[in-house]
């Protein structure tokens, strides 16, 4: 089993709808989880992090974590064309390192 | 505002050349990382440094070495460049602890011919 798995997409979502991005991980000991956004030709930038089971909201973004199911997701409400990007799920490993999933390409349809 | 800079945005080298990629951060971060990013393979960790003169291998260290003589600077060295090292190279830095965000540089697109 791969350490961090994401559907590569592309995920196409109409403007104004909710985009749902999913990620599963294999290490039950992982405690910290991150979502990075990467625009084409640009570097990744952090948009959300979550440590506790449940939901964490920040503006239009909600991260959801279920450690029992080893599942983390990102919801984007009221999707905008500017949300079109690749979203990378990242999971803590030991010794200050994190491992990235391969990313999900999101395309918001105007 | 955190800034991570990389010495070149684009680089073209010949097979067998020694290549140096430089990364500098201005936020006094302890940790620095080198990744390569390839289509379909995602971001893969090459090397990691948690302190000056300290380094740790990542997932794909073969064919690479690193140097960290000063806290703000982390260099990636390709001892003898090969075509399969053609890639986007990204440097990142962070504070100590996995709770902390990694800040990425703009990347260096290296082409080895």
How many whole angstroms separate alpha carbon B102 and alpha carbon A36? 10
Taking CB atoms and an 8 Å limit, are B104 and A49 in contact across chains? no
C-alpha–C-alpha distance, residues B51 and B84, integer Å: 29
B61 is written with which tokens? 């260290």
pLDDT digit string, tens, across residues A2-39? 789 999 889 999 999 999 999 999 988 888 999 999 99
Residue A97 to residue B98, Cβ atoms within 8 A = yes
Separation of alpha carbons B8 and B18, rounded Å: 15
What chain A residue is nearest to B101 in terms of C-alpha separation? A46
B50–A95 CB contact, under 8 Å: yes
Residue B81: both structure tokens together: 């460049």
- Which of B42, B56, B94 lies at the smallest CB-CB distance from A100? B42
- Mean pLDDT in chain B? 94
Instruction: Look at B42 and A88 and tell me if their CB atoms are within 8 Å.
Output: yes
pLDDT digits (tens, 9 = 90+) for A60-110: 999 999 999 999 999 999 999 999 999 999 998 876 788 999 999 999 999
Which of A33, A5, A19 is CA-nearest to residue A85?
A19
Residues in chain B within 8 Å Cβ distance of A3 = none
What is the predicted pLDDT for the residue at A1? 62
Q: Is the pLDDT of residue B98 over 70?
A: no
């Amino acid at each position: 089993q791969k350490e961090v798995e994401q559907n590569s997409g592309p995920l196409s979502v109409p403007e104004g709808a909710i985009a749902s991005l999913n990620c599963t991980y294999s290490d039950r000991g992982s405690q910290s989880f991150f979502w990075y956004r990467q625009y084409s030709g640009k570097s990744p930038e952090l948009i959300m992090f979550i440590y506790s089971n449940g939901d964490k909201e920040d503006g239009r973004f909600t991260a959801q974590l279920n450690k029992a199911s080893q599942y983390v997701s990102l919801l984007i409400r009221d999707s905008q064309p500017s949300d079109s990007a690749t979203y990378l799920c990242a999971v803590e490993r030991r010794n200050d390192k994190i491992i990235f999933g391969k990313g999900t390409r999101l395309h918001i349809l105007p | 505002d955190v800034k991570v800079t990389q010495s070149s945005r684009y680089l073209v080298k010949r097979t067998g050349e020694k290549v140096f990629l430089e990364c500098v951060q201005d936020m006094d971060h302890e940790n620095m990382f080198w990744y390569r990013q390839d289509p379909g393979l995602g971001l893969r960790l090459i090397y990691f440094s948690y302190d000056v003169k300290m380094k740790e291998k990542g997932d794909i260290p073969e064919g690479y070495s690193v140097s960290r003589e000063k806290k703000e600077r982390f260099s990636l060295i390709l001892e003898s460049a090969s075509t399969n090292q053609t890639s986007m190279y990204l440097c990142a830095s962070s504070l100590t602890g996995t709770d902390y965000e990694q800040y990425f540089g703009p990347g260096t697109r290296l082409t080895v011919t």
